[in-house]
Chains A and B, each alone.
Chain A
Amino acid sequence: MSPPILELKHVYRSFKRGREVIPVLQDINFAVNSLEFLCLVGESGCGKTTTGKIICDLLPPSAGAIEFEGKDIARLRGAEYRRFRRSVQIIHQDPYASLNPTHTVSETLSYPLLRHGLAGGRRGVRQRVHELLDLVDLSPVEDFIDKYPHQLSGGQRQRVSIARALTTEPSLIVADESVSMVDVSIRIGLLQMMMDLRDRLGVTIVFITHDLALAKYFAWEGRIGVMYLGRLVELGRTQEIIRDPQHPYTKVLLSAIPEPDPEKTRNKQHIQLRSEDIPRLTELPPGCSFHPRCPWFVEGVCDETVPQLASLPMAESGAEVACIPLERGKELVLHDA
């Protein structure tokens, strides 16, 4: 296999609030292979957005390294760094906030082209803007090119932000909850278009979402990484994670989600947590941060040692899981709720 396009090595990130230090990311390790579909999934506060920002170097890590095409991005200088910035783009969640309301679609798409000198003169820029709008299915282009964001629907705005991310011909795009604010009926169309971009333009997409069903759809042929309170707790092939989740948190999550099918959802077995309270990031429990809620908690193990992401000895699946009982090859024993 070719070397990964991106690799995070022991990445930590904390924020200061007054005298408090909030550890938002702890020891994140994963690689993104070129042209794979990778999805980071987790609930609010798990650190998925911070991870996305760190990948794009919009935030520096507190510790650890990010390697893009094998090179540590903190060491890139001058032309090399500019090339990295062009190669990695982000699509934000909220198309109402991420587009400048005083710029027309054409202006929004022209600035990066001019800034990076990517399209020659005026005529070149205009032509490229046309191509980009065609790529994101905003056609006929004439109907959109001179519009301001407020004249567009949410779905159309999000297409403009995708087009903007494509202006610099990136090889990696981080899509952070990029369809969550769009109506259900058009969400899948937007996602399908993004998936097509991989084949048409050779872009690798890291998709960040809180919605596991959406993650499953997007990364069906790829991988899912599940995050909990700043750590990656499970990373593996999507189809295996959905069929046979390993980490207790993933198991609970999958059992909790309602399905759009009355009979299935009402007959689903829900795994009860030991506690419903989510610990604060500033008061993380010792050992595994999931242990106070985990129905399979092992006293004297889970509350003492922090688990690392590791392959499982017994499992057939190639999933990596951060859970000490599993790592030791133990069968999980369910506590009574």
Chain B
Amino acid sequence: MSEQRREAVLRVEDLSIVYRTKRGDVKATSQVSFDLHPGEALALIGESGSGKTTISLALIRKLPKNAVITSGHIRYQREDSVQDVLKLSNRQLREFRWKDCAMVFQGAQNAFNPVLKVRRQFEDTAQSHGWTDKAAIRERALKLLELVRLDPERVYDAYPHELSGGMKQRTLLALGVLLNPQIVILDEPTTALDILTQRAIIDVLNDMQRQLRFSIIFISHDLSLAAEMADTVATVYAGEIVEIGPVNDIFYRSLHPYTYGLLTSVPTLEHLQDHLQSIPGSPPNLINPPAGCKFHPRCGFATDACKKEDPPLEHDIGTHLAACWHKDRLLESRKEPV
């Protein structure tokens, strides 16, 4: 663990964020900590309003104006030095974004300027980061467009409206890695795309990551996508990471009742009948979250302890951590035949 700690490219420590609203402070992110290692794909899984997008926006300091970071550090390792992203000046931030850490937003349809050719948008991006050699930009862009399995020459000289949704999404991925960032953040990379287009995007992302070796943080509500792409999965509930660990541990040996509840509420395509169950209730209001463990009102394992004290995110085995007082009971309950 200590070795991994040293080599992490990004370390988020104790990050808390509130949104100031008329109705009160929305505690969107509470004491979130995680490490991201070189070449690792980390999935932040959660439902709408869980705070997963807030976490990702904080990483590139793009939070809305009413957001306040109340605690924490985001340490970024560049070559030999470590910088705290939360302390970067505006000039340093402009460098950091895209060159070190790129974000590909949801809805690729709207990410391009409709009146500029794709070429111009690649050039503008490169030039605003001090890269002026157009021929070199072109060479890099064409290589990346080929990597995302597009016809590079055609796409480079096209207007956005000449591309289909899936092609735009792939072009956006190529543009995202133009400056060779160490970290790429993807917000719902396949949502709103057709199934066959989703498949193409997943395959392209896997190829890109293999070749360019960047680290990925992706945010999704889709467990299948995490199962397919992630090395590490973090479950986010009510602004907290309630469980984090290697993908197989999370899917086959989950230690948090919420993660387990999510897993038992998604249908599969196997040839067998699914026996599914919803999680009762709905996610809490984050202006006045429940005391203790925020999941306790919906949890079948909850006891008085859960109402009083918020369980810490703790080690169990190796790098698998969960915030629950009743991990043993959850594991025990799953041994019983259904």
* Most chain A CB within a 10 A radius of its CB, from B194, B202, B269, B283: B269
A265, B224: Cβ atoms closer than 8 Å: yes
Contact B270 A259 (CB under 8 A): yes
- Does any Cβ of B come within 8 Å of A276's Cβ? yes
Complex Cα gap A217–B199 (Å): 22
The answer to whether B269 and A213 touch across the interface, beta carbons within 8 angstroms, is: yes
B271/A243 in contact, CB under 8 A: yes
B281 to nearest A CB, angstroms? Answer: 8
Instruction: Point out the residue from A192, A216, A252, A265 that lies within 8 Å of B228, measured CB to CB.
Output: A265
- Pick out which of these stretches binds chain A: B30-38, B87-95, B260-268: B260-268
Instruction: Name the residue of chain B whose CB is nearest to the CB of A153.
Output: B282
CB distance from B176 to the nearest CB of A (A): 20
Answer whether residue A128 sits at the interface, using C-beta atoms and an 8 A cutoff. Answer: no
- Residue A201 at the chain B interface, CB threshold 8 Å: no
- Majority SS of interface residues in chain A? helix
B105 proximal to A (CB < 8 A): no
- Partner pick for B195 among A43, A187, A214, A277, CB 8 A cutoff: A43
Query: A270 — nearest CB in chain B belongs to which residue?
Result: B199
Interface size class of B (residues with CB under 8 A): 35 or more
Minimum C-beta distance from A254 to chain B (A): 6
CB of B277 closer than 8 Å to a CB of A = yes
Q: Do A185 and B271 touch across chains, with their CB atoms under 8 A apart?
A: no
Interface residue? A262 (CB, 8 A): yes
Binary interface encoding of chain B residues 192-236 relative to chain A, with 1 for a CB under 8 A from any of its CBs, else 0: 001111111011000000000000000001111101100000000
Residue A223, interface by CB 8 Å: no
A213 and B166: CB pair below 8 A? no
Check if B278 sits within 8 Å of A185, measured CB to CB. Answer: yes
| CB–CB B48/A258 < 8 A | no
Q: A213-B266, A216-B267, A253-B195 are in contact. List 20 more A-B contacts (CB 8 A).
A: A153-B282, A183-B221, A183-B282, A183-B283, A184-B221, A184-B223, A186-B278, A214-B267, A242-B271, A256-B195, A256-B199, A258-B199, A258-B222, A259-B224, A259-B228, A260-B223, A260-B268, A262-B251, A270-B203, A278-B164
A-B contact pairs, 18 of them (CB 8 A): A43-B196, A185-B47, A186-B278, A186-B282, A189-B278, A210-B195, A217-B267, A217-B276, A220-B273, A256-B195, A256-B199, A257-B224, A257-B269, A262-B251, A263-B248, A265-B228, A266-B228, A270-B203
Residues of B within 8 A of A (CB): 47-48, 164, 166, 194-200, 202-203, 221-225, 227-228, 247-248, 251-252, 261-263, 265-271, 273-274, 276-280, 282-283
